[in-house]
């Protein structure tokens, strides 16, 4: 099935206890697209500035990512600068320059409008609805959001949630959106807002899945080397949605597999800065780690 993502393409400057990287390729749609491309072709809609190098466009194209929806606008590309402490749980944002992203208004190429699966990255909920209005009868829709939109445009976000099948957010955002500290109660309130499926990302503690029929918890894959968590959540979403697009099944059992696959892909992303690990990653490594993950979580019946 065809997979469309709308989000940000950026330059990141990141510092962790293990090193730092300046002006490297990043952005939510970038991480999502590359992660999903291990399973299915991806259509990308985003905006970059006049300073965005052709080599990065060519890299995206080399990963079966259709960049005909990548708009080049007058000005500079979106930039983010952050720093992680020893815990690596959350980045401290040092600088954000929206640049061309500030006036971005997504316009889908005609060939993207018949997309089967749509993922709306972390952008203004008004823009997310604008994208949904341009797509003709998608089979599955999902979105991500963040604390900024929850606090500043909650009414608009709730309006958007009524239109999507899946919401993927972290535990802090789930508590903020629902007003509940308990994640089970939070999930009940959020699902009542519209999404049939809720995925709550919990970083090093894994992910939770809530649907009408079931609750599922997946741990994070244990790693010896974690260099840069930037893009881990977007990589998880890309692996998750990419697997659903590849397998064309949206039942609870396959969603559980997709969560594990998303976790596996994200576990590779954090092993290096930017998308460097993805550039070296081969599909057999993904399947091998998926099998290791299965062994890690397996236990016998009583």
With contact defined as beta carbons under 8 Å apart, do 28 and 234 qualify?
Answer: yes
Helix (H) or strand (E) holding 68: strand 65-72
Helix (H) or strand (E) holding 167: strand 166-170
Q: What is the CATH number of the domain that holds 81?
A: 3.40.1190.20
Residue 247 burial by Cβ neighbours in a 10 Å radius (0-12, 13-18, 19+): middle
Nearest Cα to Cα of residue 108 among 88, 127, 131: 131
As a whole number, mean pLDDT of residues 178-198 equals 97
22: domain range? 3-297
At 79, the pLDDT band (50, 70, 90 cuts) reads very high
The whole-angstrom separation of Cα 246 and Cα 109 is: 23
The whole-angstrom separation of Cα 96 and Cα 233 is: 19
Residue 39 covered by a domain: yes
In percent, the amount of the chain with pLDDT more than 70 equals 100
With contact defined as beta carbons under 8 Å apart, do 293 and 264 qualify?
Answer: yes
- pLDDT, the chain, mean: 95
Residue 210 burial by Cβ neighbours in a 10 Å radius (0-12, 13-18, 19+): buried
Q: What is the pLDDT of residue 282?
A: 97
The whole-angstrom separation of Cα 116 and Cα 249 is: 12
Summarised one tens digit per residue, pLDDT across range 21-76 is 999 999 999 999 999 999 999 999 999 999 999 999 999 999 999 999 999 999 99
Summarised one tens digit per residue, pLDDT across range 99-139 is 999 999 999 999 999 999 999 998 999 999 999 999 999 99
User: What are the strands of the beta sheet with 91-97, ordered from one edge?
Assistant: 19-26, 10-16, 79-84, 91-97
Residue 302 covered by a domain: no
State phi, psi for 96 to the nearest 5 degrees.
-135, 125
Residue 32 covered by a domain: yes
Residue 213 covered by a domain: yes
Describe the crossing of helices 28-36 and 252-269 by its angle, rounded to 10 degrees. 110
Nearest Cα to Cα of residue 23 among 15, 13, 14: 13
Residue 277 covered by a domain: yes
Residue 229 covered by a domain: yes
With contact defined as beta carbons under 8 Å apart, do 36 and 242 qualify?
Answer: yes
Residue 242 covered by a domain: yes
Number of domains in the chain: 1
With contact defined as beta carbons under 8 Å apart, do 121 and 5 qualify?
Answer: yes
At 203, the pLDDT band (50, 70, 90 cuts) reads confident
The angle formed by the CA atoms of residues 99, 100 and 105, to the nearest 5 degrees, is 135
Task: Tell which wins on pLDDT, 54 or 1.
Answer: 54
Q: What is the pLDDT of residue 300?
A: 87
Q: What is the pLDDT of residue 293?
A: 93
As a whole number, mean pLDDT of residues 296-301 equals 86
Residue 147 covered by a domain: yes
């Amino acid at each position: 099935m065809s997979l469309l993502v709308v989000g940000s393409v950026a330059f990141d400057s990141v510092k962790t206890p293990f090193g730092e990287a300046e002006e490297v390729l990043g952005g939510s749609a970038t991480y999502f697209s590359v992660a999903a491309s291990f399973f299915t072709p991806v259509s990308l809609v985003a905006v970059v500035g006049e300073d965005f190098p052709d080599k990065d466009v060519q890299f995206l194209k080399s990963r079966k990512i259709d960049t005909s929806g990548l708009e080049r606008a007058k000005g500079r590309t979106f930039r983010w600068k952050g720093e992680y402490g020893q815990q690596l749980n959350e980045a401290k944002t040092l600088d954000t320059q929206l640049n061309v992203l500030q006036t971005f208004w997504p316009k889908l190429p005609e060939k993207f409008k018949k997309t089967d699966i749509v993922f709306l990255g972390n952008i203004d909920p008004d823009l997310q609805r604008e994208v949904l209005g341009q797509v003709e009868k998608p089979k599955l829709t999902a979105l991500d959001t963040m604390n900024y939109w929850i606090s500043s445009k909650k009414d608009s976000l709730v309006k958007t949630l009524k239109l999507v099948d899946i919401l993927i957010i972290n535990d802090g955002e789930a508590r903020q959106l629902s007003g509940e500290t308990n994640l089970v109660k939070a999930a009940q309130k959020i699902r009542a807002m519209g999404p049939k499926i809720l995925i709550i990302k919990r970083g090093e503690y894994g992910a939770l899945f809530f649907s009408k029929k079931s609750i599922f918890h997946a741990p994070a894959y244990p790693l010896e080397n974690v260099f840069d968590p930037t893009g881990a959540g977007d990589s998880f979403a890309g692996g998750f949605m990419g697997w659903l697009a590849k397998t064309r099944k949206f039942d609870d059992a396959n969603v559980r597999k997709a969560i594990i696959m998303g976790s596996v892909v994200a576990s590779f992303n954090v092993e290096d800065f930017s998308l460097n690990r993805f550039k070296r990653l081969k599909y057999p490594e993904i399947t091998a780690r998926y099998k290791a993950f299965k062994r890690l979580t397996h236990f016998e019946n009583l």
